[in-house]
Chain A
Amino acid sequence: MSLLDVRDLIVRFRTADGTIHAVNGVSFELEAGETLGLVGESGCGKSVTNLALMRLLPKPAGRIEGGQVIFDGLDLLTLSEAEMRDLRGKEIAMIFQDPMTSLNPVLTIEEQLVETIRAHRRVSKADARRRAIALLEMVGIPTPEIRLRSFPHQFSGGMRQRVMIAMALALEPKLLVADEPTTALDVTIQAQVLDLLGRLTTEGGTALILITHDLGVVAGMTQRINVMYAGYIVETAPTPELFGHPSHPYTVGLLHSIPKVTQRDDEELIPIEGRPPDMRQAPVGCPFASRCTWRLEVCWTDNPSLRPVQAGARLVTTGPEATHQIACHNPPTAEEATAGRPVRPGFRPAPAPAGRMDELVLLAEGPA
């Protein structure tokens, strides 16, 4: 049995502007000790998925409207608030993007760390303090005895994120969810923090869900990746397979829109035209259709479900042998994935049916 099993998760936000269809039936599994990347642009539902499984959605707007989250045999969505609180931190810990807003500014690091430890473990204050010092030492904070008495604002961004990691790992959780943990940091500090995060989760056998928009970060940090778009998982594969054989047009597009180190000087980037869909409308057809250069007529009306790339392949959902799956009616061939555009002679993306906006045509028309 896997450590985490998310099945058909549906999350919606009821707002004055209408219903936001944030997560539209997401399923994935995670084994103990496995590292999984959740990749996508802002608004794709990657953070909401994570907040939903921690039961931390903003209330009353955010609601889980369907699905199951089974963690270590427990259905998290049926637990009481008290049971859930007991689980958070102890079994599942989180690291957020901005360490300044996730640490309490008026409490010292000592108070926050000791409180975290004593809330879940029956230990004396002195023991908790010793544990806190050991944790700060582990994340590479110099002179931990002294720094323990500091307030969060007395630390730099990278140091604060180290404190967050120390706090998250204080109770040796089975699962650590890191939501854009290094996005607010400079690149040399990002390297420090990622190095630390990778080392500590490997050593402690902690499963890791790494949520990020940065394909470079997940490439080195995860064993498996889910690519999300508009509240759907559109591609899932072991990390080497995803980068070696990207098969969904969106993934292919993402890989071509970032400059590569090996790119020749005169090579232009191939952007994904248009913009992410309006999540206030329930999607009709494939959510990526209006921006996709591979789309067929069927894409405008039928939303493809996640299927193995190799038809008939046995479905493995976790581990390094996990089946490569995509949700696409007309996947790019290997040659096209390399080129970044369709190369079949005479192929044209299917025009939008009446009433649907076609971002490609809008952009291409210009002033004429």
Chain B
Amino acid sequence: MTMAPAPAPGDEGGASMPAATPGAVSPASRAGVDGRPLLRVEGLKVHFPIKEGIILERHIGDVRAVDGVTFELRKGETFGLVGESGCGKSTTGRAIVRIYRPTAGRIDFDGVDIASLEGAALRQMRRRVQMIFQDPYASLDPRMTAGSIIAEPLEIHGIGTRRERQDRIRELLPLVGLDAAYGVRYPHEFSGGQRQRIGVARALALDPDLIVADEPISALDVSIQAQILNLLQRLQGRLGLTYLFIAHDLAVVRHISDRIAVMYLGQIVEVASSRDLNTRPLHPYSVALLSAVPIPDPAVEMRRQRIILRGDVPSPAAPPSGCRFHTRCWLRERLGNPERCSAEEPVLRELESGHAVACHFAEDVAGSVEQALVTGRRVPPTAIPAGGDATGGEVFVPGDATSEVPPGTPVLPEAAPGAE
């Protein structure tokens, strides 16, 4: 046995992936992002009927899991879809690979509307769109060897001879950081992280253009998560893949994505570059979501002020009127509960270049103390709400601590919104 060349603890897969961009992978400047849309989702709706009665089923309502979602994926980019459970992010992903049939809307993949494709045309499209699932224990058939799992997509699509498929397995295993000889083993012989690598290899088998990764690391241990994230980034650099990365963990999504859409109750409330969302979130929900992410730094955690949202996410079968977030919104409360929020549904509007938000009062979020508090800008002590930070000095939260809050920032009249 020989040692790996040079100390390269982060160099996962080591020699197996020489073509991967060494060291730095910069999502923003990654080669291959050429701006051409690969996927355009327009007004996508996926509703699940609620039925009552056993013999005479009556349709009594719909769970509006996805309710009018529009976004675009450029070739070679990673687009993050983030939100809490029940927000429709997974349903959106599953509709794109056509596990679900959309209720309404268009899904243009490379110029073809795939929302209503059937039969051979659908199968043809699926060769180019593959999926990585959350649970590496449930998504691999325990009775198939790793090799046959990886080769199954090739068999289904009738690609290659048996020998060629064997060669492809031996090529794919090292690509995902597994020994080429592991193809004969069964899933239970692998650890969780290794299983997820098999899931990645299976998704790569057909050489797809787009990979929908639905919570690909949330079932893994912390120390293993980074292995899979790095693997995905390297594969993208090497194979020019486009990712739709779906996750609930904002820190992870922020790390891997070029652009991010934040979802709430079946709709997109904000779309921005990863950096803009991090430094200038413009939707009250995004601000709250950012503030809720625990930061592994006690100095920050002690001084930080959370926006505690009141209550739970309402049911997608009976979403609130107007803006769906209005029942929990801290900004609405501050503004004296304007009627517009509960009466009129806000549309996604581009407030800044490449930064769209669905909020009637998004202008009030820009420059608010809350926005500054969660993004790490310095806030004059006078602007800190009562009952908040007691250190007396400046409040600092990580992020891009470059800009100051402009003078004249309104002082909050009351305690932290939503705090009990």
Contact = CB atoms under 8 A, between A and B. Distances in A.
A242 to B, nearest CB: 8
Interface in A253-269: 253-263, 265-269
A358 interface: yes
B229 A219 contact: no
A243 B298 contact: yes
A361 B4 contact: yes
Interface string A355-368: 00010111111111
Interface residues on B, range: 35 or more
A306 B274 CA distance: 42
A263 B291 CA distance: 17
A42 B221 contact: yes
A292 to B, nearest CB: 9
A268 B15 contact: no
B13 interface: yes
Contacts of B162: none
B214 to A, nearest CB: 17
B161 interface: no
Nearest to A223: B298
A77 interface: no
A316 to B, nearest CB: 19
Contacts, number: 209
Contact of A191 (B29, B251, B296, B306): B306
B26 A265 contact: yes
Interface in A142-158: 156, 158
A183 to B, nearest CB: 11
B299 A240 contact: yes
A181 to B, nearest CB: 13
B272 to A, nearest CB: 14
Given A265-B275, A268-B25, A358-B1, A191 B10 contact: no
A8 interface: no
A353 B192 CA distance: 26
B292 A187 contact: yes
A213 B306 CA distance: 21
> Which label, helix, strand, loop or mixed, suits the secondary structure of the A interface?
loop
A269 B226 contact: yes
Interface stretch (A57-65, A123-131, A270-278): A270-278
Contacts of B308: 191-192, 195
A41 B7 contact: no
Given A239-B298, A262-B398, A366-B177, A257 B225 contact: yes
A210 B77 CA distance: 39
Contacts of A361: 1-4
B409 interface: no
Interface in B9-61: 9-17, 23-29
Contacts of B302: 220
A10 B251 CA distance: 37
A140 interface: yes
B174 interface: yes
B412 interface: no
B278 interface: yes
A65 to B, nearest CB: 26
A293 interface: yes
A366 B292 CA distance: 40
A213 B278 CA distance: 24
A217 interface: yes
B10 A340 contact: yes
Interface in B270-295: 274-275, 278, 288-289, 291-295
A270 B10 contact: yes
A109 B4 CA distance: 59
Contact of A261 (B233, B248, B292, B399): B399
Given A265-B27, A341-B7, A342-B7, A259 B254 contact: yes
Contacts of A240: 298-299
A159 to B, nearest CB: 7
B270 to A, nearest CB: 15
Interface string A170-208: 000000000000000011111110111000000000000
A191 B292 contact: yes
Interface string B305-320: 0101100110000000
A288 B10 CA distance: 17
B85 interface: yes
Interface string B360-384: 0000000000000000100000000
B124 interface: no
A189 B221 contact: no
A215 interface: yes
A263 B223 contact: no
B366 to A, nearest CB: 20
A191 B291 CA distance: 9
A271 B292 CA distance: 25
A140 B3 contact: no
A331 interface: no
9 contacts: A187-B84, A188-B309, A191-B292, A257-B226, A260-B398, A268-B230, A273-B9, A275-B191, A363-B12
Given A219-B301, A257-B226, 9 more contacts: A239-B298, A269-B230, A340-B10, A347-B7, A348-B7, A351-B1, A364-B8, A366-B13, A367-B16
4 closest Cβ pairs, A-B complex: A216-B294, A366-B16, A220-B301, A364-B4
